[in-house]
Amino acid sequence: MTDIGEWQGGVGRSWADEHARTDRSFSRMTPHLLAAIHEEQARYVVDIGCGAGELSLALARGRPDAMVTGVDVSADLVAAASARAAGLENVRFAVADASTWQPEQAPDLYVSRHGVMFFPEPPAAFAHLSAIAAPGARIVFSCFRTPRENRWASGIASLLPESGASVSNPSPTSADPFAPGPFAFADPDHVRTCLRGWRDVTFTPVDFDYIAGAGPDAVAEALAFFGRIGPAARAIRVMSEAERPAFLERLANLLESHRSGDVVSFPAAVWLVRATAE
Ligand SMILES: C[S@@+](CC[C@H](N)C(=O)[O-])C[C@H]1O[C@@H](n2cnc3c(N)ncnc32)[C@H](O)[C@@H]1O
């Protein structure tokens, strides 16, 4: 579970600091999402949970005739996104909760790279997004499929000491599979329920290599990344000093077993979800 308060605080700060590595981790998936987005017409695009803005910036550059707004609850991430947008006229960023935010004009396209699984009340959030949208507006977003299909997550979960796994739900195999978090939208039936009031809901699976680290010391790179972002970072925060060295050693071994040359990567799997507002 990752709640809004965490994104507004330290988790958002870590993502802002690590945006180059997070963009790299998704680099084999983002082109699929952008291709799906470019199939849609749009004059005013809203990027939900835009983070440090890679998707917003790519859209603004690829569609100079469209306006793009990235919305995120983290002031640190919006500051990082704004700094990266220098010189681009058709993109702006807002610190706001997208589930209640009021735009100045009606969006005709919503996009999101893994930003919509953190709504505490997804049906209400998607109903709001539909209500403020232009008639027939579209949404295109990516979200992880199951932890089993995302070996970076299931691999980390298998390394967690008992105490770490039981505190604050760092495990992706949490008791409540629909709690806000990276895997909350793994089940298409649940996503359809959240998108009630939207029509033409489709799911396209994309499998890709999730890049955890790269370069001459790819394992150290990946360790630095996983130490700040995601379930390993959360576990490290909550586990005892005594548990930490053994966990880091197990993590380094896992990363080494997924290293090929100068890249550490894991099999990963997402849905590309598309729908139309009523
Ligand atoms: C997994 S990150 C993805 C960030 C970015 N889209 C990317 O691909 O790098 C999820 C993002 O959603 C944001 N977020 C979570 N809940 C939100 C909400 N209710 N409204 C707007 N942003 C939200 C977080 O602050 C975070 O930046």
Nearest-atom index, ligand 1, CA of 47: 6
- Pocket probe mutation, ligand 1, options 13, 15, 211, 225, max atoms within 8 Å of Cβ: 15
Is the alpha carbon torsion for 161, 167, 170, 172 positive or negative?
Answer: positive
Q: Give the per-residue pLDDT at 177.
A: 84
Please tell me if the CB atom of residue 97 comes closer than 6 angstroms to any atom of ligand 1.
Answer: yes
Interatomic CA distance for residues 143 and 185, integer angstroms: 6
pLDDT by residue for the chain (278 residues), tens only, comes to: 778 999 999 999 999 999 999 999 999 999 999 999 999 999 999 999 999 999 999 999 999 999 999 999 999 999 999 999 999 999 999 999 999 999 999 999 999 999 999 999 999 999 999 999 999 999 999 999 999 999 999 999 899 876 544 333 444 445 788 899 999 999 999 999 999 999 999 999 999 999 999 999 999 999 999 999 999 998 998 888 999 999 999 999 999 999 999 999 999 999 999 999 98
User: Which amino acid residue places its CA nearest to atom 1 of ligand 1?
Assistant: 114
Token couple for 110? 């919503």
Interatomic CA distance for residues 137 and 14, integer angstroms: 33
Interatomic CA distance for residues 16 and 102, integer angstroms: 25
User: Which amino acid residue places its CA nearest to atom 15 of ligand 1?
Assistant: 118
User: Which amino acid residue places its CA nearest to atom 16 of ligand 1?
Assistant: 118
Interatomic CA distance for residues 238 and 236, integer angstroms: 6
Q: In which element (H, E) is residue 164 found?
A: helix 162-166
Interatomic CA distance for residues 199 and 208, integer angstroms: 28
Q: Give the per-residue pLDDT at 218.
A: 98
Please tell me if the CB atom of residue 16 comes closer than 6 angstroms to any atom of ligand 1.
Answer: no
**Domain spanning 4-277: CATH superfamily:** Vaccinia Virus protein VP39 (3.40.50.150)
